[in-house]
Amino acid sequence: MSAIRPEIGARIRQGLTIRDLSEQDLAERSGLTLDCVLAYVEGRRELDFSELRAICRGLNVSFMRLLADPYPFSDREIDSTTLAEIEALSE
């Protein structure tokens, strides 16, 4: 799963920009430490589902969308094949 860390970091960074939030804002909104948030943004942290859920809450984006969609903050729909692949990962 480490190969997707930089992609997830880029998506979180995109969310910070679109939501006009700093890393500190996200840390406060998600209940995570600033170091933890920075590690995700920089792609240095192993993915932890509970931490990612907290980040999603802080960014107001669905968990599946953050994982599956390269542009999770757009209005487009996720195709069913990609959604099924992501759901299979969480089993």
- 12 has pLDDT over 80: yes
Do the Cβ atoms of 60 and 26 come closer than 8 Å? Answer: no
- 1 has pLDDT over 50: no
User: 73 or 20: which carries more pLDDT confidence?
Assistant: 20
Give residue 6's domain range: 2-89
For residue 68, the one-letter residue type is A
Which CATH number does the domain housing residue 68 bear?
1.10.260.40
- Provide the pLDDT for residue 91: 58
- Provide the pLDDT for residue 35: 97
- 28 has pLDDT over 90: yes
Q: What is the DSSP letter of 60?
A: T
Return contacts of 48-56, CB within 8 angstroms, 24+ apart.
Answer: 49/90, 52/8, 54/30, 55/12, 55/26, 55/30
Number of structural domains the chain divides into: 1
- Provide the pLDDT for residue 75: 67
64-84 residue pLDDT tens: 889 888 888 876 665 667 667
